[in-house]
Structure 1
Amino acid sequence: MKIETITVFQVDLPLEHPYWLSGGRLKFETLDATLVRLETDTGLVGWGEGTPWGHTYVPAHGPGIRAGIETMAPFILGLDPRRVLDVERAMDLALPGHLYAKSPIDMACWDITGQAAGLPIADLMGGGSRTPRPIASSVGAKTVEETRDVMERYRKRGYIAHSVKIGGDVERDIARVRDVESIRQPGEIVLYDVNRGWTRQQALRVMSSCEDLNVMFEQPCETLDDIAAISRLHASPVSVDESLVTLQDAVRIAHDGLAQIFGIKLNRVGGLTKAARMRDIALAHGIDMFVMATGGTVLADTEALHLAATIPDDHCHAVWACQDMITVDVAGGRGPRNVDGHLHLPEAPGLGVHPDEAALGDPVGEYA
């Protein structure tokens, strides 16, 4: 089997509600999605997606994905997509770094491989738990009142997990954390996501003030060095998200005890192949996980669900899915959808969902 054609589509994904990153620092209204179709000489077709959370969140942007695919295409064409490690090495040789540009190709290869084997990707990877995964909301609000309103909107959709964005103002952050804890319902999972929004002293002030609540904070500071510097000075569980990019990052975090939770974003780390290694580092060191698409359609959400299904149930807190936040559906209602705040693993071979090409418009790139 060989990859014969790579076709690239660009789709704008308007958000249902304007979204502010932690502390209201950045506003997002539309995501720039790249969808990729790999066609093989046997007729099997695989799909991948790369949708960064805007272009100001982390070093990733939509045009960069499309430019990266154009650069890598000559090295990928003619390879067997089932040999995902060969494809991974070809991409790394053709374009060092730029992991976010490689993720949709990796995803499409796993889709083809699963179809060829007649198995869902999660089963092919050796996992495949059918326990529905809670979907974590993304509460990008700024005030106590707005936070309550957004959480209640998600609760009405069945959500039991919430990622509450804080950061930027110490007193306001303490007030929001304490207010959310005061209305937290039994069984709810709440992660307070700072998105790198605190300095070291701000992090210590908030986390120390909230130690009695025993809550989880995600990415409290900009870098791993910052997180390391304050790690012995507070008692709050920490999740690392934006600073978890490479396998070397995962090894350092685990070895140095910098975090108790990994937030694995598939597009950021380069796709399933690389993310699976981070999963294994986490499991070997007793580190729990959230698994997330950086953003995007049901395709990206489904990829995250497949990785989450390879993690033992007790070690996977939730998945983050973007489909309830956008107003465009490229798959006509197919694929894993919110059912009482959870996603259920698809039983179809491969990814388990493909887009309607008519919903994607004309290709913006084709390589053969």
Structure 2
Amino acid sequence: MKISQISVFQIDLPLQHPYWLSGGRLKFETLDATLVKVETDGGLVGWGEGTPWGHTYVPAHGPGIRAGIETMAPFVLGLDPRHVLDVERAMDLALPGHLYAKSPLDMACWDISGQAAGLPIADLMGGGSRTPRPIASSVGAKTIEETRTVIERYRQRGYIAHSVKIGGDVDRDIARIRDVENLRRPEDIILYDVNRGWTRQQALRVMSAVEDLNVMFEQPCEALDDIAAISGRHASPVSVDESLVTLQDATRIARDGIAEIFGIKLNRVGGLTKAARMRDVALAHGIDMFVMATGGSVLADTEALHLAATIPDANCHAVWACQDMITVDIASGRGPRNIDGHLHLPEAPGLGVHPDEDALGDPVAVYR
């Protein structure tokens, strides 16, 4: 079996509500999604998706994905998509770095591999827990009142996991954390996500002020060096997200004890193939995980769920899904959907959901 054609589609995914990061420093209203259709000479078709969270969040953007695929396509065409390591090496040789551009092709190859084997991707990867995974909301609000409103909106949908965005103002962040904790329910899983929004001194001031609450923080500072510098000066569990990009990042975090939790975003790290190695580093060092699509449709959410299903239940806190935040559904209700705040692993071979191709329009590029 060989890859015979790669078609690339672009579609805008408007957010239902304006979304703010870092205390209102960054605002997002529409996501630029790239969908990839990989066809084979054996008749199997796989789909992948890459949807960065805008272009101001991390070094990734929609046009960059499409440019990267243009560069890599000649090196991938003719390869067997079931040999995901061969495809990975071909992409890495053709285009060093640019992991976010490689993720959709990796995802499509895993989709084909699962179909060829007659197994869901998670089973093919050797995991496949059927325990429903809690969906983590993403509470991007600027005020305490707005934060309460958004959390309640998600609770009405059954959510028990919440990623509350903070950062940028010490007093406001302390007040918001205490307010959310006052409303915490026994079953809640709450992560306070700073999105690199604190300096070292701001991080220590907030973490010290709420130390009595024993809460989890995600990406409190800009870089691993910053998080490492303050790691021995507070008692709060820390998740590393934006600074977890490569396997080298993962091994450094584990070796140096920089964080207790990995926030694995599949598009950012280059897809399932590379993310699986980070998962294994985490498990070997007693590090728990959140698994996330960077953004996107139910396809991206489903990919994240497959990886989450390969993690022991006790070590996987939640998956973050974007589908409840966008106003466009490219798969007409198919695939894993919110059921009482959880996602259930598909039983169909491969990814388990494909888009309605008519909803995508004409491809912006085709490579043969």
1:205 lines up with 2:205 in the alignment: yes
What does residue 165 of structure 2 align with? 165
Residues 66-215 of structure 1 aligned to structure 2 (within 5 Å): 66-215=66-215
Alignment deviations for residues 193-241 of structure 1 (CA, whole Å, 9 cap, x no partner): 0000000000000001111000000000000000010001000000000
Give the 3-state SS of the residue equivalent to 2:250 in structure 1. helix
Alignment deviations for residues 235-284 of structure 1 (CA, whole Å, 9 cap, x no partner): 00000000000000000000000000000000000000000000000000
Give the 3-state SS of the residue equivalent to 1:303 in structure 2. helix
Give, as a single letter, the amino acid of the residue that structure 1 aligns with 2:69: I
Give, as a single letter, the amino acid of the residue that structure 1 aligns with 2:91: M
- Report the CA distance between 1:16 and its aligned residue: 0.3
Alignment deviations for residues 100-155 of structure 1 (CA, whole Å, 9 cap, x no partner): 00000000000000000000000000000000000000000011111000000000
- Report the CA distance between 1:53 and its aligned residue: 0.2
- Report the CA distance between 1:22 and its aligned residue: 2.1
What does residue 364 of structure 2 align with? 364
The CA distance in 1 between the partners of 2:128 and 2:11, in whole Å, is: 30
What does residue 62 of structure 1 align with? 62
- Report the CA distance between 1:186 and its aligned residue: 1.2
The CA distance in 1 between the partners of 2:198 and 2:87, in whole Å, is: 39
The CA distance in 2 between the partners of 1:120 and 1:283, in whole Å, is: 22
What does residue 340 of structure 1 align with? 340
Give, as a single letter, the amino acid of the residue that structure 2 aligns with 1:303: E
Residues 207-356 of structure 1 aligned to structure 2 (within 5 Å): 207-356=207-356
**% of aligned pairs identical?**
88
Give, as a single letter, the amino acid of the residue that structure 1 aligns with 2:170: V
Give unmatched runs, 5+ long, in structure 2.
none
Give the 3-state SS of the residue equivalent to 2:135 in structure 1. strand
The CA distance in 2 between the partners of 1:225 and 1:185, in whole Å, is: 34
* TM-score, structure 2 normalization: 1.00
Give, as a single letter, the amino acid of the residue that structure 2 aligns with 1:64: G
1:28 lines up with 2:23 in the alignment: no
The CA distance in 1 between the partners of 2:114 and 2:101, in whole Å, is: 22
Give the 3-state SS of the residue equivalent to 1:273 in structure 2. helix
The CA distance in 2 between the partners of 1:276 and 1:109, in whole Å, is: 15
The CA distance in 1 between the partners of 2:16 and 2:340, in whole Å, is: 20
**Stretches of 4+ aligned residues off by more than 3 angstroms:** none
The CA distance in 2 between the partners of 1:343 and 1:92, in whole Å, is: 32
Aligned length: 368
The CA distance in 2 between the partners of 1:313 and 1:77, in whole Å, is: 37
The CA distance in 1 between the partners of 2:21 and 2:5, in whole Å, is: 38
The CA distance in 1 between the partners of 2:72 and 2:275, in whole Å, is: 20
1:8 lines up with 2:8 in the alignment: yes
The CA distance in 2 between the partners of 1:24 and 1:318, in whole Å, is: 25
* TM-score, structure 1 normalization: 1.00
Give unmatched runs, 5+ long, in structure 1.
none
Give, as a single letter, the amino acid of the residue that structure 2 aligns with 1:244: L
Give the 3-state SS of the residue equivalent to 1:60 in structure 2. coil
The CA distance in 2 between the partners of 1:153 and 1:275, in whole Å, is: 31
The CA distance in 1 between the partners of 2:97 and 2:221, in whole Å, is: 23
Alignment deviations for residues 22-74 of structure 1 (CA, whole Å, 9 cap, x no partner): 21111100000000000000000000000000000000000000000000000
Give the 3-state SS of the residue equivalent to 2:274 in structure 1. helix
Residues 40-55 of structure 1 aligned to structure 2 (within 5 Å): 40-55=40-55
Give, as a single letter, the amino acid of the residue that structure 1 aligns with 2:363: P
Give, as a single letter, the amino acid of the residue that structure 2 aligns with 1:49: E
Give, as a single letter, the amino acid of the residue that structure 2 aligns with 1:68: G
Give, as a single letter, the amino acid of the residue that structure 1 aligns with 2:179: D
The CA distance in 1 between the partners of 2:300 and 2:286, in whole Å, is: 27
Give, as a single letter, the amino acid of the residue that structure 1 aligns with 2:324: D
Give, as a single letter, the amino acid of the residue that structure 1 aligns with 2:268: R
Give, as a single letter, the amino acid of the residue that structure 2 aligns with 1:39: E
Give the 3-state SS of the residue equivalent to 1:87 in structure 2. helix
The CA distance in 1 between the partners of 2:225 and 2:19, in whole Å, is: 29
